[in-house]
Amino acid sequence: MAKDQTDQALDRELADLPAELRWREWMRRIEAVLFASASPVAREDLAKVVGQGASVEILIDDLAADLEGRSFEVAHVAGGWIMRTRGAYAPTIRTAADIGAQELDLREFEVAVLAAIAYHQPITRDGLKDIFGKEISRDLIGRLHSQGLIGTGPRSPRRGAPYTYVTTEKFLIAFDLESLAELPDKEQLEDAGFVEMAQ
């Protein structure tokens, strides 16, 4: 109920402002929402804070241009937009800030298992064994799950109904993907050496 009252109190149209100031205010509203959110914000949610005639995409493009040269940026990942620090500043942050569990510490084989899950999801541990030619430990699956990179998918329609694994929104964010459709093709994986690891 409180949310409905807040929505009603928000003047989305800002008709009393000149066009340029209205646009700037809409940009700042989007910036505030993205800054406060820990996960990507969908277009539909951002549209709730701007006027009906406003294009969320153009507002975000203008905000991105406004942030050019700053240490953070607007990124389009996992079906929405998020504010994040530019990659060039990762060493700076690691040196001065306590980022603890935010930093992914993945071994090469763990990245290969993640790729196999992403390409073949939903997939069982037996399916992963078929790909890699060896058993994938429950510990490795547990680490990837605890980092939020994979989740449990639907039970496999086989005898015993084993669990399947799928990638998560955090996986998309961590690897800077809008969707799984942006995964590299097999030739790119071969060039990177991941296909050989899986054989």
Domain count, the chain: 2
What per-residue confidence (pLDDT) applies to 199? 45
Residue 96 lies in a domain: no
Domain boundary among 90, 115, 138: 90
Residue recorded with tokens 């992914």:
104
Q: Which residue numbers in the chain have pLDDT < 50? A: 1-2, 5-6, 197-199
Domain boundary among 59, 90, 121: 90
Q: Are residues 27 and 75 in the same domain?
A: yes
pLDDT digits (tens, 9 = 90+) for 4-50: 544 568 888 888 888 889 899 999 999 999 999 888 999 999 999 99
Residue 98 lies in a domain: no
What CATH number has the domain bearing residue 186?
1.10.10.10
What per-residue confidence (pLDDT) applies to 173? 83
What own/partner pairs with CB < 8 Å and gap ≥ 24 does 48-57 have?
Answer: 48/7, 48/12, 49/10, 49/12, 50/12, 50/26, 51/12, 51/13, 51/14, 51/22, 51/26, 52/12, 52/13, 54/23, 54/26, 56/30
pTM: 0.58
Q: Are residues 160 and 193 in the same domain?
A: yes
Q: Are residues 41 and 80 in the same domain?
A: yes
Domain boundary among 90, 116, 135: 90
Which structural domain range is residue 54 located in? 12-90
Q: Are residues 157 and 185 in the same domain?
A: yes
CA 199 – CA 194 distance, rounded (Å): 9
Residue 6 lies in a domain: no
Question: Which tokens in the block code for residue 193?
Answer: 């050496």
